[in-house]
Chain A
Amino acid sequence: MSLIELSAIERVFTLGDSEVHALHALDLAIAAGEYVAIMGPSGSGKSTLLNLLGLLDRPDAGRYRLEGRDVTTLSADEQARVRRERIGFVFQSFHLVPRLTAAENVALPLMLAGVAPAERAVRVARALADFGLADRAGHRPDQLSGGQRQRVAIARATIMRPAVILADEPTGNLDRATGEEVVRLLEALNAGGVTLLMVTHDAALGARARRRVVMQDGRKIADGA
């Protein structure tokens, strides 16, 4: 059984009287533990696909099964719970809360899940140490470098031990060396069993994935190793 199963997905945006088929007749199956790069030109629907997989957006047609369960029909609160427990997001622009410290940012998902503060502190400290941020716990995002910020974001995305990590151009705001470092972190997580879906424009980074899905005009035009 696949972890992710999309069939006949349609996502149409209406702008005035023109319709944009951001996703069209999309079928996609991803098994647990896979490492998939999603590629394609700008506007081809990569982010739309990732938002849909992350339950931030709903398809206009088609079916989405996550871990065997049809999640498109879930209520908003049930979808929130799935996001909280099964999905980790990593964004191009990090999306750290500026007034909170690195530790507090990493603790956010635990807080939302109602984990007790004592256990929270232990898990956050361990996560920060795992990502080489132990001495940055009390720093606010504006006191961190780009690479450090993205590491905080990855620590936050993984603290709930999700089944899948959705990364939308995680290296887009980083220089080459820092970007590689971040990708190696994500790959290490994948090696530990987490399914990794990464949108990237960078052919070299895409080449590292074991599977590449190439999008164009909302369609999947290539899928394979």
Chain B
Amino acid sequence: MTPLDTLRFATRAATGYPLRTFLMVLAMSIGVAAVVVLTALGDGARRYVVNEFASLGSNLVIVLPGRSETGGFNPANAVTSTPRDLTVDDAHAITRAPAVLRTAPLTVGTSEAAWGGKLRDVTIVGTTADYLKLRRIDLALGRFLPAEDPNAAVAVIGAKIQSELFGAEPGIGKVLRIGDRRVRVIGVLGATGQGLGMNADEVVILPVAVAQAMFDTNTLFRILVEAKGRPLIEQAKTQTLEIVKARHDGEEDVTVITQDAILATFDRILGTLTYGVAGIAAISLAVAGILVMNVMLVAVAQRTAEIGLLKALGAPGGAIRDAFLAEAALLSATGALLGYALGQLGAFGLRTAMPALPAYPPDWAVIAALGTALATGLLFGVMPARRAARLDAVQALAKR
């Protein structure tokens, strides 16, 4: 029997029992589709987060107050209990580092914004003029915080604040009440949609001094530092740390992280998550494999007389085994391809429902799903096929 004939015979056998074939193909396709959709979701989440971090701005180094746990035991830390606050002066000092292009201090808090009887909760970001370039922010209207006057009572508002407080009327020039202070709106941010952590459309950006006064504090939430170039990121990090350490009496009481490090961490966590869901979805593939075995065993039982006939016609055991194996492979392959199509459709549905999420299944997941489907189909097809090949011809023929 030629391989082509074996395949043709198996195809006729598969199409000869449509319900059985349909169920098996369905089970296999659900398994493959599950892997494709779930990994698309996981990998989409990973890409989304990574992109969000990338959009923070490039070549970024971030200074946080407090010593990171991962630094290990440091005798200097053991002496002092409270770390020094991060201040605007620290930010200015860092700007003078050779590898640093610019810095932006960051104070974050919440307050209420009111205008014309309308009231709304807002996120307050206190920073400086350099924040605009550092974060690569687009302005829709007006201008950003002035570099000349750090104490100006001005505000730049997010797109949503603009539309909710002022509607179609431009908010530029209006005086907004925030908490117990009055600030003049000088700029409106372009709409960006949901950003990581905070919604950039719902922020009010104030000069850092104004924000600090409003929250009655001298400390900063973060200092954002932009290195002069990608190769200088590590240098910028070291220099930043040295400067802050020198200013804080030689104590390393801040944590300096690079954006790359954060990115890598998120990449790893979400990547692992994706492998995890792929593994869970793969269980459904294994279940489908067991179903393949059951269905093929039923097929062998159903077609016992036919197997006896093939033997009487001179089919060697190997030819019969191959025919049943080919049938299992065929059903698995069809199921795998159908599942792939369904999975891609599902991923497309995800992307349509959540346009922000780049829900594309990763190549490795697609290859693994298709490979596992075929392998389990064949593996679980071997036992029934061998059983068919070993049937006693006389007894098989006697079966009706």
- A and B, one complex? yes
The chain A residues found within 8 Å of chain B, CB to CB, are 51, 54, 56-57, 76-77, 80-85, 87, 89, 91, 93, 95, 97-100, 104, 108-109, 111-114, 117, 156, 160
A83 and B5 in contact (CB under 8 A), knowing A99-B12, A99-B13?
no
- Can you name 27 A-B pairs with beta carbons within 8 Å? A51-B393, A51-B394, A56-B311, A57-B393, A77-B317, A80-B316, A81-B316, A83-B313, A84-B313, A85-B314, A87-B314, A89-B313, A93-B400, A95-B305, A95-B309, A95-B397, A97-B309, A98-B16, A99-B15, A109-B313, A109-B314, A111-B5, A112-B310, A112-B313, A112-B314, A112-B315, A114-B5
A100 to B5, CA, bound (A): 14
Known contacts A89-B312, A109-B314, A111-B9, then 9 further A-B pairs from the complex at CB < 8 Å, ordered by chain A residue: A56-B394, A57-B393, A77-B317, A81-B314, A83-B313, A95-B305, A97-B309, A98-B16, A112-B319
Contact of B314 among A83, A91, A100 (CB under 8 A): A83
A207 to B308, CA, bound (A): 31
Task: Return the chain A residue nearest B17 by Cβ.
Answer: A99
Chain B residues with CB under 8 Å of A83's CB are 311-314
Chain A residues with CB under 8 Å of B308's CB are 95
Chain B residues with CB under 8 Å of A109's CB are 313-314
Task: Return the chain B residue nearest A111 by Cβ.
Answer: B5
Let me know if B313 and A91 touch, CB within 8 A.
no
Interface residues of B in 1-52 (CB under 8 A from A): 1-2, 5, 9, 12-13, 15-17
Chain A residues with CB under 8 Å of B306's CB are 97
Chain A residues with CB under 8 Å of B9's CB are 111
A77 to B397, CA, bound (A): 18
Let me know if A100 and B12 touch, CB within 8 A.
yes
Most buried by A among B305, B309, B313, B318: B313
Chain A residues with CB under 8 Å of B313's CB are 83-84, 89, 108-109, 112, 156
Let me know if A114 and B312 touch, CB within 8 A.
no
Contact of B316 among A56, A57, A77, A111 (CB under 8 A): A77
Let me know if B397 and A91 touch, CB within 8 A.
yes
Interface residues of B in 315-363 (CB under 8 A from A): 315-319
Closest 4 CB pairs of A and B: A84-B314, A99-B16, A83-B314, A80-B316
Overall SS of chain B's interface: helix
Q: Within the complex, what minimum Cβ distance (angstroms) separates A204 from chain B?
A: 27
Q: What 0/1 readout, one digit per residue, does chain B (288-318) give for beta carbons within 8 Å of chain A?
A: 0000000000000000011011111111111
Chain A residues with CB under 8 Å of B319's CB are 112
In this complex, the interface size class of chain B, counting residues with CB under 8 Å from chain A, is 20 to 34
A208 to B309, CA, bound (A): 28
Chain A residues with CB under 8 Å of B15's CB are 99
Task: Return the chain B residue nearest A160 by Cβ.
Answer: B314
Chain B residues with CB under 8 Å of A95's CB are 305, 308-309, 312, 397
A114 and B1 in contact (CB under 8 A), knowing A56-B311, A76-B316?
yes
Chain B residues with CB under 8 Å of A98's CB are 16
Chain A residues with CB under 8 Å of B13's CB are 99
Task: Return the chain A residue nearest B314 by Cβ.
Answer: A84
Chain A residues with CB under 8 Å of B394's CB are 51, 56-57
Chain B residues with CB under 8 Å of A111's CB are 1, 5, 9
A112 and B1 in contact (CB under 8 A), knowing A80-B311, A80-B316?
yes
Task: Return the chain A residue nearest B5 by Cβ.
Answer: A111
Chain B residues with CB under 8 Å of A112's CB are 1, 310, 313-315, 319
Q: Within the complex, what minimum Cβ distance (angstroms) separates A172 from chain B?
A: 14
A222 to B15, CA, bound (A): 50
A171 to B12, CA, bound (A): 30
A89 to B319, CA, bound (A): 19
Chain B residues with CB under 8 Å of A57's CB are 393-394
Chain A residues with CB under 8 Å of B393's CB are 51, 56-57
Let me know if A80 and B315 touch, CB within 8 A.
yes
Interface residues of B in 169-207 (CB under 8 A from A): none
Task: Return the chain B residue nearest A153 by Cβ.
Answer: B309
Task: Return the chain A residue nearest B305 by Cβ.
Answer: A95
Q: Within the complex, what minimum Cβ distance (angstroms) separates A14 from chain B?
A: 15
A124 to B306, CA, bound (A): 20
A202 to B15, CA, bound (A): 41
Task: Return the chain A residue nearest B390 by Cβ.
Answer: A76
Q: Within the complex, what minimum Cβ distance (angstroms) separates B101 from chain A?
A: 74
Task: Return the chain B residue nearest A97 by Cβ.
Answer: B306
A104 to B13, CA, bound (A): 12
Q: What 0/1 readout, one digit per residue, does chain B (379-400) give for beta carbons within 8 Å of chain A?
A: 0000000000000011001001
A99 to B303, CA, bound (A): 11
A178 to B318, CA, bound (A): 38
A156 to B318, CA, bound (A): 22
